[in-house]
Structure formats: C-alpha cells, structure tokens
Amino acid sequence: MEENITVVKISGHCLDDETLLWQFARIVAQREDRLVIVHGGGTEITRLQQKLGIEPHYIDGLRVTDADSLALVEMVLCGLVNKRLVRYLLSAGVDAQGLSGVDRGLVRARQMRHESVDMGYTGEVESVRGQVICELLSFGVTPVIAPVSGGATSNFNLNADPVTGALAAAISADEVVFISNVAGVMVDDQRVTRMTQSEAEALMESGEISGGMIPKVETALDVLSAGVPRAVITDLDGWANGDGTAFVGGNK
C-alpha cells in the first residue's frame, strides 16, 4: 500500500532555533508517510533588511518586495534558511534535497495584484509542476522548498502558505500540516481537535476564534478549498504526538 503524502509548512520561529530544528529533523526522520517540506523565513529577512538599511514595507500584512529586497529574499530563503534546514535533516538521516519554486519550473508565479499598490516583486502562484515533486518522492527524497518562484521575466517572493496549499493540491496530498508555536485552536480554553469548514467559519464569525488565530485558520480553510482533504494546525510536540486541530471539508 502506498504511503500517504503530507505537505508540512514550518514557520519561521523554528528556523533559527537549534533546539527546534533538531526536534523537527528527528520527527521527520521517524515519519512513515512521504513528506514535502515548505518553509518561510520572514523574520530573518526583516532582520537582514534592517541591518542593511532597507526599510521593510507592508500592505495589508503582505511584504512589498522591491528589487533590492528580492535579492535579499533569494539569499535568505534559497540560501541561508533552505540549506540550514536541509543540513539538519541530513544529519538526522533524512534524504533531503533543497530547492525553490524556481528550480525546474516547480512553481510559476506572476505579480500579486493589488487595487491600489504596485506589489513589485511580491508574487502569487500561477501554476505548479507537481511532477517534479512526485519524481523526488518516488526516489525516497524529501523535498525542502523555499517559496521564491519564477515568473516570465523575473523571480518573485511568494508567501509560503499559499505555496504550500498549491503544492499540496498539485500532488494530491492527503494532508497539510502547519507547524507554528501554537498547539491548535483554543475555544473556551480548550483545544478543538477537529472542526469542519462551516464550524470554523461560524466560530470566527462569533468571535470565539479571534486575533492572530484567524489568519492561521483561514490558511487551513484555503487548503481545503484547494482540494486537500485535511489540514492541521499544531506545534512540534503536537505533530510528534498526533495532536493539534484538524480541519476537514464538508459540514459533518
């Protein structure tokens, strides 16, 4: 029987912490499903921008990427963060290969549209060449993907969350796991283990899901809308133990 495919998005807080990186690598090494890993690195991008005197610019929570910032993003995500993560995985015995959306035309991008702002080199997914990932998985390789992606005339800086969803849909993944610093969705001080899309929408509308959890839940629901059967929000301990909040399609 063929193993399930899980796409894992690891958030920035894990990516420059040696203890968390080792924990993540060891969990990956013990998994029996086939894994695809997507990472961001926004914190380190902002830190380097500030060191170099480049003022970060955001609109509606999205980073506006100019030419200088794109070069920096490529260095940080495709170089520093990607190769660091691959190194930890290899040390844990995982046959990991780092790549970006640019490599082999994995993710094609276009400039992100905004009604009032030129988003520069901030992009959105246009298409995914899923066969690239399927080939690596067939050889037992764990792809580790930076979300910088290629367009018609330039590369683009993409948010890792929509890249995760688009990749998962393109390879018919069974599950997407978003690993951050929260154990799951809390309602009335209790972690919800499972909810449908309609339940999640109702809890956001009532205010029982609020604040910084809203974009996390919306991202999980976007994954379901892309055709992936299940999305999970959890932390590293939760992933290791099969805990977290699972989102499933439908109303039941």
Q: Which of 149, 226, 212, 148 is nearest to 180 (CA)?
A: 212
pLDDT at position 252 is 47
pLDDT at position 251 is 53
pLDDT at position 114 is 86
Structure-block tokens of residue 88: 């930890």
pLDDT at position 250 is 63
What is d(CA 27, CA 186) in angstroms, rounded to the nearest whole number?
A: 24
On whether the CB atoms of residues 31 and 198 are closer than 8 A, the answer is no
In this structure, the chain runs to a length of 252
pLDDT at position 226 is 87
pLDDT at position 4 is 93
On whether the CB atoms of residues 97 and 69 are closer than 8 A, the answer is no
Q: Count CB neighbours of 13 within 10 A.
A: 13
Q: Is 27 helix (H, G, I), strand (E, B) or coil?
A: helix
Largest CA distance in the chain: 54
Ordered domains of the chain (ranges, CATH): 5-173 (3.40.1160.10), 181-252 (no CATH)
Structure-block tokens of residue 237: 């301990």
pLDDT at position 62 is 79
Phi-psi region of 15 (alpha: psi -120 to 50; beta: other; left: phi over 0): alpha
Q: What is the mean pLDDT of each run of 10 residues along the chain (252 residues)?
A: 85 88 96 95 83 82 86 93 97 98 97 88 95 97 97 94 93 94 88 92 90 86 91 95 90 50
Kindly report whether the global pTM for this prediction surpasses the value 0.85: yes
